[in-house]
Structure 1
Amino acid sequence: MKNYLGVAVSIGVLAAVWTQVSVSLDLVTWVGFLAWACYFAAGTGRVGFTRGLAANLSGLAYGWLVAAFIGVASFPGALAIAVGVVAALMCLQAGWSTLSFIPGAFVGAAAYFGTAFSFWPTAIALVVGALLGWASGVLGTRLQVAVDGRTRTTEPPVAPAQAAA
């Protein structure tokens, strides 16, 4: 438990701040948390930030394309076809390193649909959420170093499977 104290405190404090600020400014709170989670799921650091946010924003764009297509296509199955094509494209884009976090693209598209097609509020919340992920990672590391009593990190943390061996 001590190994996670820094990140727990940083996320707890920043989550409270984000909730208060986003509610006060009428931002989409839950979308920010989705992007924040993507930061950690995509690997943290610069890589987690760029891959998570790029994938989230690409998903947002794909969601917009689906909405635009179904706005003009009136044949039966148009929505299913659009979603199928876009889902395939979100997987294929993973061939580019920056867009390789496939779940992030699905999160971005789902967030767009979940906000009732609100493009800019979704985009803002995705960007802020990714920034909060980065900030909580940096702050969490600094707090953890202080808790551990070290001036710098010399070894990566031991994974539970490695500790048992």
Structure 2
Amino acid sequence: MKPYIGVGLSVGILAGIWTQVSIELGLITWVAFIAWACFFAAGGGAHGFRNGLAANLSGVVYGWLVALLTTVADFPGVLAVGVGVAALAMCLQAGWAPLSFIPGAFAGTAAFFGTALSFWPTVAALVIGAGLGWASALIGDRLQRLLIKPEAAAGARDPNHPVQTA
């Protein structure tokens, strides 16, 4: 059986639940999906949760700083300069392990700008999305183990079986 069936089921179920709950509560549905994707892209598990979410949140802060700059500085190209400096910083911060997932920082900034500069709603949705990523991975792993037929699992451990698992 394909190893991604369990995670696929858990992601599908949780995505449906999240969509309904977020709409009913007025939360930003799509932003959570960004953090959810970053969780997996950053490697999943504790590492993916920590590094994906930390980078996402740093990106929100960079977006906020760019927005702040545009309110205090008034010259042609201020937004371009702010975005350029923030992009540089998002890359340079990767030298520090907790913020090393560069795509997550860019995703966090994009989410902040995409929510029309809604700082706390963006942060809340990113945190929820990272949690959903972790939950879907854990539930998916358990579902996968339930879906594996006992005889197939036993056959994989049989020294006479042609395919061995690590």
Q: Structure 2: which 5+ residue stretches go unaligned?
A: 157-166
- Structure 1: distance between partners of 2:105 and 2:38: 10
Matched residues, number: 152
AA aligned to 1:121 is P
Identity %: 64
- CA–CA distance in 2 between the matches of 1:118 and 1:51? 22
1:2 is displaced (CA, Å) by 2.9
2:104 corresponds to which letter in structure 1?
G
2: CA distance between counterparts of 1:146 and 1:68? 51
Match runs of 1:15-54 below 5 Å: 15-54=15-54
Stretches of structure 1 that go unaligned for 5 or more consecutive residues are 156-165
Provide the C-alpha distance between the structure 1 equivalents of 2:148 and 2:101, rounded to a whole number of angstroms. Answer: 32
Q: Secondary structure at the match of 1:138?
A: helix
Deviation at 1:5, TM superposition (A): 1.1
1:138 and 2:153 matched? no
Is the radius of gyration larger for structure 1 or structure 2?
2
- TM-score, length-scaled by structure 2: 0.89
Q: Which residue of 2 aligns with 1:61?
A: 61
* Alignment partner of 1:83 is 2:63: no
- Number of the residue aligned with 2:160: none
What is the distance in 1 between the residues matched to 2:66 and 2:5?
42
- The alignment's C-alpha RMSD in Å is 1.4
Measured in 2, the distance between the counterparts of 1:31 and 1:87 equals: 20
Q: How does 1:112-151 map to 2 (within 5 A)?
A: 112-149=112-149
Who is 1:70 aligned against? 70
CA deviation map 1:124-147 (0-9, x unaligned)? 000000000000000000110111
Q: Which amino acid aligns with 1:129?
A: G
1:2 and 1:34 map into 2 onto residues whose CA distance is 25
Distance 1:21 1:133 in 2: 16
Moved over 3 A (4+): none
